[in-house]
Amino acid sequence: MRLLFLTTALLGVGASAGTLERTFVPQLDDTWETFRSLEPETTALPATTVVLCEVSVPRLRYDSFAGADLRVSLSVNGVSAGLVNGPNDADWALAGFPVTLARGDRLSLTVWDRDLTELELVGSGSVMLGATLPVTFTKSAFTATCRGVPEAMTLRRQEMTIAHVDASLAALTPLPAVRLSAANLGRPDRELRVLENALNAAGTWQGWTRPVLAERLRSAAALEAQWTRAVAAEIATQLERLPPAGQPVMLQAGVTEVTVGALRCVRGKCGLSLELHNLSAEALDRANSEVPEEAFDRAELISAGGDVVDFSFPAPRSAPDGGVLTAIAPGGRATVKVTGWLNTENGAPRLLRLHTPFGWKVLRLREP
């Protein structure tokens, strides 16, 4: 079963009491290359920079058969700069954190080993910053070296990535109209992925709480809320406009109509029957007619809030191409039952999307 939770965050942005919180820090695409290029360089402080920390733990110390799965946190004067997960089965991690540093700041690293159910603390260490980076951590259960990206490069990338976010936001203004018969209800998936990628790219070069980026996160969250409201409004409109539930609905004039049965659920397992009526003068047969092979192969329930839940057609009885509709004689009827799982988190289903030989059709559901 595939669930599309359209009422949750479209962009992975969590909202709480008017603030937007992202815990993990996205990483540079070329983190290792950048870290190695900094090896002969020093970064004078104060500076706005991305600190790249290479962290390692003793081999096989935290897993008898493979490397550790490290998680790294960095803080400046007790204020967290975020979390980074290292690769799986590795006794090292290279973690980047966008920060502003000055001489005398206390830089602290905390390292954990990620287990299946819990985090095992490896250790914590702190250093007092002098006039330059890099700095090393050697008095803990891990070793680490932290280098700084040059400030000029950092500021240039901050400006560039924010410009990309602004362009991505502009491409989504205004949002397209909700179309219940379209894939994913007409949601602009490609543009939203571009925006999410742009936000993550910006987050590699500046903290999520930096005002210029936090403002863009609020704009992204506003788009999410706007889309959610638009989906709910369109569903409410269609509930007013569509023919009453349980009555025959024409799929194509003079060819086929469908009557939707009541939805029945037992401990989350649900089913409903579709009665198909062939109004034409010839048999409706998947194997012999011009009905597209992909027709009558998908059904989806839509809740009042916009959640979409897949329902399954029964296995075909005779069609070798995987179809579910074999043949309906001229003027004849056939009943097909579709099934799926629902839970209370999905909300009460209100509409049925049915993939037919004539495109997607949206129908009202009968109450149980």
Give residue limits of the domains in the chain.
Answer: 3-21+153-241, 39-148, 249-364
SS3 at position 112: strand
Q: What gap in Å lies between CA 160 and CA 163, rounded to an integer?
A: 5
Q: What gap in Å lies between CA 239 and CA 260, rounded to an integer?
A: 15
- Where is average pLDDT lowest: 12-21, 64-73, 224-233? 12-21
Q: Is the confidence at residue 93, as pLDDT, over 60?
A: yes
Are the C-beta atoms of residues 298 and 1 closer than 8 Å to each other? no
Q: 170-213, pLDDT tens digit by residue? A: 999 999 999 998 888 999 999 999 999 999 999 999 999 999 99
Q: What gap in Å lies between CA 259 and CA 365, rounded to an integer?
A: 10
Are the C-beta atoms of residues 72 and 111 closer than 8 Å to each other? yes
Place of tokens 């889309």: 227
Place of tokens 């790249």: 52
Nearest to 167 by CA among 197, 205, 206, 207: 197
H or E stretch covering 177: none
Q: What gap in Å lies between CA 145 and CA 72, rounded to an integer?
A: 13
Q: Is the confidence at residue 91, as pLDDT, over 80?
A: yes
Specify the CATH class of 249-364 in words. mainly beta
- Where is average pLDDT lowest: 57-66, 77-86, 325-334? 57-66
pTM: 0.82
Q: What gap in Å lies between CA 352 and CA 262, rounded to an integer?
A: 11
Kindly report the three-state secondary structure assignment for every residue of 85-117.
ECCCCCCEEEEEEEEEECCCCEEEEEEEEECCC
Helical H segments across the chain, by residue range: 31-37, 151-171, 189-203, 211-241
Region 39-148: CATH code: 2.60.40.150
Q: Do domains 39-148 and 249-364 have the same CATH topology?
A: yes
Q: What gap in Å lies between CA 165 and CA 50, rounded to an integer?
A: 19
Measured from the Cβ of residue 34, the count of other Cβ atoms closer than 10 Å reads 17
pLDDT of 289 reads 47
pLDDT of 58 reads 84
Q: Is the confidence at residue 81, as pLDDT, over 90?
A: yes
